């Protein structure tokens, strides 16, 4: 029997690590050894933090950002600009845009567009009474179709539609764009013809 073959739990741990983004097989093995031979308290704390995150962190009922409450910190923030609503693909994109400090409005996380999402989006537009929808989606044919669909769906609400533009190369996700490019992309967004 080869070394490690009888370590069923250990191999399962390696497998779990290797399913995480950016973690290859070698790193997964290194992490598994670290967990099993390193500081035991830190490893238990890690397991506990993962469990807690899964238990307490849920999508914000209004915008879909990650939150520990029914509504996220941005949705309850009275200082934010109600005129603009920025549509992003994932909750992580909100963090990226917030770090660029180039936007003060609200967000809506699209993930997959379905009937339920459309209802939530409409509710949010009406509640904010916003004037502009900014699409901050990764450039792709699918995004173009979604933008077209949403514009058409809400064409009677008297909204300006814009798309973040310069500096975001096709197929690159927001988190990989540098802050200066992202800042420009938001400030010099392109207005879409209604
Ligand atoms: Zn929210």
What are the residue ranges spanned by the domains of the chain? 8-56, 66-192
- Average confidence score pLDDT of the chain: 90
Distance, CA 31 to ligand 1 centroid (Å)? 34
Residue 41 region by backbone torsions, left for phi larger than 0, else alpha for psi between -120 and 50, else beta: alpha
For the cut 60, the answer to whether the pLDDT of residue 167 exceeds it is no
- Min mean pLDDT across 47-51, 117-121, 154-158, 190-194 is at 190-194
Average pLDDT (163-190) is: 73
What CATH number is given for 66-192 in this structure? 3.40.1360.10
Average pLDDT (131-159) is: 91
pLDDT of residue 64: 96
Q: What whole-number percentage of the chain has pLDDT above 70?
A: 94
Distance, CA 119 to ligand 1 centroid (Å)? 15
pLDDT of residue 85: 97
Distance, CA 160 to ligand 1 centroid (Å)? 22
For the cut 90, the answer to whether the pLDDT of residue 74 exceeds it is yes
Which residues make Cβ contacts (< 8 Å) with residue 101, sequence separation at least 6? 183
Distance, CA 134 to ligand 1 centroid (Å)? 16
Distance, CA 145 to ligand 1 centroid (Å)? 25
Would you call 160 helix, strand, or coil by DSSP?
strand
Distance, CA 144 to ligand 1 centroid (Å)? 24
Report the CATH fold assignment for 8-56: Helicase, Ruva Protein; domain 3 (1.10.8)
Distance, CA 154 to ligand 1 centroid (Å)? 21
Q: Which residue has the higher pLDDT, 50 or 187?
A: 50
Confidence tier at 185 by pLDDT (50, 70, 90): confident
Distance, CA 53 to ligand 1 centroid (Å)? 17
Q: How many CB atoms lie within 10 A of CB 15?
A: 12
pLDDT of residue 192: 80
pLDDT of residue 59: 95
Q: Which residue has the higher pLDDT, 176 or 98?
A: 98
């Amino acid at each position: 029997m080869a070394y490690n073959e009888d370590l069923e739990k250990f191999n399962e741990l390696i497998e779990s690590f290797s399913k995480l983004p950016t973690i290859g097989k070698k790193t997964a093995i290194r992490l598994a050894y670290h967990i099993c031979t390193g500081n035991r308290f830190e490893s238990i704390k890690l397991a506990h933090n993962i469990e807690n995150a899964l238990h307490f962190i849920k999508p914000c009922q209004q915008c879909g950002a990650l939150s520990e409450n029914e509504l996220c910190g941005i949705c309850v923030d009275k200082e934010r600009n109600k005129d603009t609503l920025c549509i992003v693909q994932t909750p992580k994109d909100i963090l990226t845009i917030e770090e660029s400090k180039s936007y003060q409005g609200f967000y809506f996380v699209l993930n997959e567009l379905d009937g339920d999402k459309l209802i939530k989006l409409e509710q949010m537009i009406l509640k904010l009474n916003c004037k502009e929808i900014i699409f901050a989606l990764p450039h792709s044919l699918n995004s173009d179709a979604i933008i077209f669909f949403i514009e058409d769906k809400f064409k009677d609400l008297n909204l300006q539609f814009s798309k973040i533009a310069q500096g975001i190369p096709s197929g690159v996700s927001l988190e990989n764009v540098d802050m200066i490019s992202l800042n420009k992309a938001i400030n010099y967004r392109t207005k879409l013809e209604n």
